Amino acid sequence: MGKESASVEISEPLLEESEGIGAVEMERIPEWKDQITIRGLSVSALLGTLFCIITHKLNLTVGIIPSLNVAAGLLGFFFVKSWTSFLSKLGFSVQPFTRQENTVIQTCVVACYGLAFSGGFGSYMIAMDERTYKLIGADYPGNRAEDVKNPGLLWMIGFMFVVSFLGLFSLVPLRKVMVMDYKLTYPSGTATAMLINSFHTNTGAELAGNQVRCLGKYLGISLFWSCFKWFFSGIGDSCGFDNFPTLGLALYKSTFYFDFSPTYVGCGLICPHIVNCSVLLGAIISWGFLWPFISQHAGNWYPADLESNDFRGLYGYKVFIAISLILGDGIYNLIKIIAITVKEICNKSTKQNNLPVTAEILADDESSKLLMEQSRKDEIFLKDRIPSWFAAAGYVGLAAISTATIPVIFPPLKWYLVLSSYILAPALAFCNSYGTGLTDWNLASTYGKIGLFIFASLVGTDGGVVAGLAACGVMMSIVSTAADLMQDFKTGYLTLSSAKSMFVSQLVGTAMGCIIAPLTFWLFWTAFDIGSPDGPYKAPYAVIFREMAILGIEGFSELPNHCLAMCCGFFVAALIINLMRDVIPKRISQYIPIPMAMAVPFYIGAYFAIDMFVGTVILYVWERINRKDAEDYSGAVASGLICGDGIWTIPSAILSIFRINPPICMYFGPSS
């Protein structure tokens, strides 16, 4: 899903100021146990809950999730600093807040909210539910009533616990190889380390304070605006600022309007310009040209009297063309990253292929100082060892528990299929972690989709849909958590944090996520009509993932006329566009769109593309007026906008649960 396409931007401005990483003072490093504090874990639980809500909201609306690593580091600093300042003013003696504690908080939060993504609450997990089954249609071939499993709090928490920890144990023995020997960049992890280091140096203290104030200001503005919007949103889904026909009623019918969402504008500020422009281009191609063109052939290419969500009509084109673009992009990048990984491992010169930040410092005359800092980082990173036998025993033990448990939760997925996935998983986890280190693209959902197709076809018509979706969950959890762990090891390495404290905080964060992610999802599930094509929470990937599973066992037999030909065309186009991005010189290829980002509006609509484009225009103008300011504060502004809107989701959901409706319905219609 969108997580992989939106994760690069935060790192770029911060990486340019790379000297901050080298300027780590020779402070006393706390023992690994002292890096994990009660206040740190409390803040992690609070932020983990907030970020889970944000991730669920994005998953259930547009499916594009920006990297929140830097926001986690920034908010962690904000909360602990506020708390320690408050206690100091009251006369209490407080433990100093170190960069290591800040890193542990960030690691814990990322591990927690990562499960809201890899747990499939907006994709494979609710693809099994009755609403998605009914949306596709009881008479649709391969869509059986027996292949339904509705969300339940207990089984979701149990499933999270049996699959989410394996990825953490799968690659622990390779942490030295990935971080120190191959010196993989992990751009988001490096950027987060850069930010945390700047917070805890005298030179960066003023900027850190300003960033925190900026974040608090825009968080307040976003929270107030979201609350204000609620009063006008009435009953139903056609009222309020979310349905403001800003570009006119004609374009509004084609979903082209600005819906005043702080979350999507914030995403536009965080995501690279090319991602935002790709999303808008996808919206223009689909809702501006393709869907109106296909609609003209209603009655010829497909029956004209079908409902709006019938797969034999226009809806089928929307879903399957989006799937073909997503698969084309995912498969190309998977093959590319595996090829790069194999080439880099085979090439001994990889060991001399230093990080950009290291290479810059090496050019200076202070080589002895650099070597001393480098050896200190190495020493601290290797000091608190995590024994390989412990990692291996943990993986085998958890795999055994999971192999016995998963068939109880999902009977069609037999124990030997679960076991075979755990035998293959470490190799896939390594490929994904290595690829993330090189490119910052976490391709967990691509590995999940491949697992979905393979297991759905292996099981066949009798339970293949549920088996494929469950196998997708197993695969996604392992490869995603493994990549997140290695990214956090990189952050820990650069902030002089103990590898053991990183691993323990990742375990604690994952345990939190196993409870918090299902609970926060349950808030959405009980408060809102999740999956309704006309509602605010369309859960677009639920339908896409269930259709993929049906496709795995049934083939293309029921698609409307010319749909398969169009799907093949868009699949090939995704491959060609990606190839062009890699072959053409960088100065030109940076303007070529990203197919996976283009695919999202094909199914959902164009409204969020307008919001994200507004965000990218604001950032572009800001960079032209004052690039330094934009680099320093755009992440804080974006985080504030996203978090403020995310916080409002909690009272909004509670009001909905108690059936308290907004008092006003603001509605727009033609004047005559």
Query: Which band of pLDDT confidence, cut at 50, 70 and 90, is reported for residue 3?
Result: low
DSSP string, 209-242: HHHHHHHHHHHHHHHHHHHHHHTTB-SSSS-SGG
pTM equals 0.82
Most confident of 6-15, 212-221, 412-421: 412-421
pLDDT at 366 over 60: no
pLDDT at 111 over 60: yes
pLDDT at 12 over 70: no
Q: Is residue 373 part of a domain?
A: no
What mean pLDDT comes out for the span 395-411?
Answer: 95
Determine the residue type at 661.
N
Query: Which band of pLDDT confidence, cut at 50, 70 and 90, is reported for residue 26?
Result: low
Which carries the bigger pLDDT value, residue 513 or residue 547?
Answer: 513
Which carries the bigger pLDDT value, residue 596 or residue 623?
Answer: 623
Percentage of residues in the chain having pLDDT higher than 70: 92
Backbone dihedral angles phi then psi of residue 136, each to the nearest 5 degrees: -70, -35
Measured distance CA(259)–CA(242) in Å, rounded: 4
Q: What is the dihedral of CA 45, 49, 54, 58, to 10 degrees?
A: 110
Q: Which of 36-50, 527-541, 565-579 has the lowest mean pLDDT?
A: 527-541
pLDDT at 24 over 60: no
Most confident of 83-92, 135-144, 152-161, 551-560: 152-161
pLDDT at 319: 85
The string of pLDDT tens digits covering residues 534-562 is 778 888 889 889 988 998 887 777 678 89
pLDDT at 353 over 90: no
pLDDT at 566: 93
Measured distance CA(14)–CA(631) in Å, rounded: 7
pLDDT at 87 over 90: no
Cβ-contact 638, 216 below 8 angstroms: no
Q: Is residue 668 part of a domain?
A: no
pLDDT at 611 over 80: yes
Residue given tokens 């339970």 in the structure block: 463
pLDDT at 334: 79
Measured distance CA(535)–CA(244) in Å, rounded: 15
Helix axes 262-270, 38-61, angle to 10 degrees: 100
Determine the residue type at 149.
K
pLDDT at 19: 42
- Overall domain count for the chain: 1
Q: Which of 288-292, 329-333, 356-360, 643-647 has the lowest mean pLDDT?
A: 356-360
Strand partners, 384: none
Q: Is residue 18 part of a domain?
A: no
Q: Is residue 646 part of a domain?
A: yes
The string of pLDDT tens digits covering residues 249-287 is 989 989 899 989 898 898 888 888 988 999 999 999 999
Residue 541: closest CA among 20, 49, 56: 56
Measured distance CA(483)–CA(435) in Å, rounded: 9
Q: Which residues contact 628 (CB under 8 A, 6 or more apart)?
A: none
Q: Is residue 319 part of a domain?
A: yes
What is the 3 state secondary structure string of 549-572?
HHHHHHCCCCCCCCHHHHHHHHHH
pLDDT at 21 over 50: no
pLDDT at 356: 44
Strand partners, 302: 298
Measured distance CA(52)–CA(11) in Å, rounded: 22
pLDDT at 444 over 90: no
Range of the domain at 291: 38-345+405-658
Measured distance CA(451)–CA(443) in Å, rounded: 13
pLDDT at 437 over 70: yes
pLDDT at 458 over 50: yes
Measured distance CA(315)–CA(306) in Å, rounded: 10
pLDDT at 10 over 80: no
Mean pLDDT computed over every residue of the chain: 85
Query: Which band of pLDDT confidence, cut at 50, 70 and 90, is reported for residue 519?
Result: very high
Structural element, H or E, at residue 321: helix 314-346
pLDDT at 51: 93
Q: Is residue 63 part of a domain?
A: yes
pLDDT at 441 over 80: no
Measured distance CA(187)–CA(259) in Å, rounded: 32
The string of pLDDT tens digits covering residues 411-434 is 999 999 999 999 988 888 887 887
Q: What is the dihedral of CA 522, 525, 531, 534, to 10 degrees?
A: -140
The string of pLDDT tens digits covering residues 308-349 is 777 778 888 988 898 888 888 888 887 887 787 778 777 745
pLDDT at 361: 44
Q: Is residue 91 part of a domain?
A: yes
pLDDT at 7: 41
Query: Which band of pLDDT confidence, cut at 50, 70 and 90, is reported for residue 647?
Result: confident
Measured distance CA(243)–CA(260) in Å, rounded: 9
Q: Is residue 14 part of a domain?
A: no
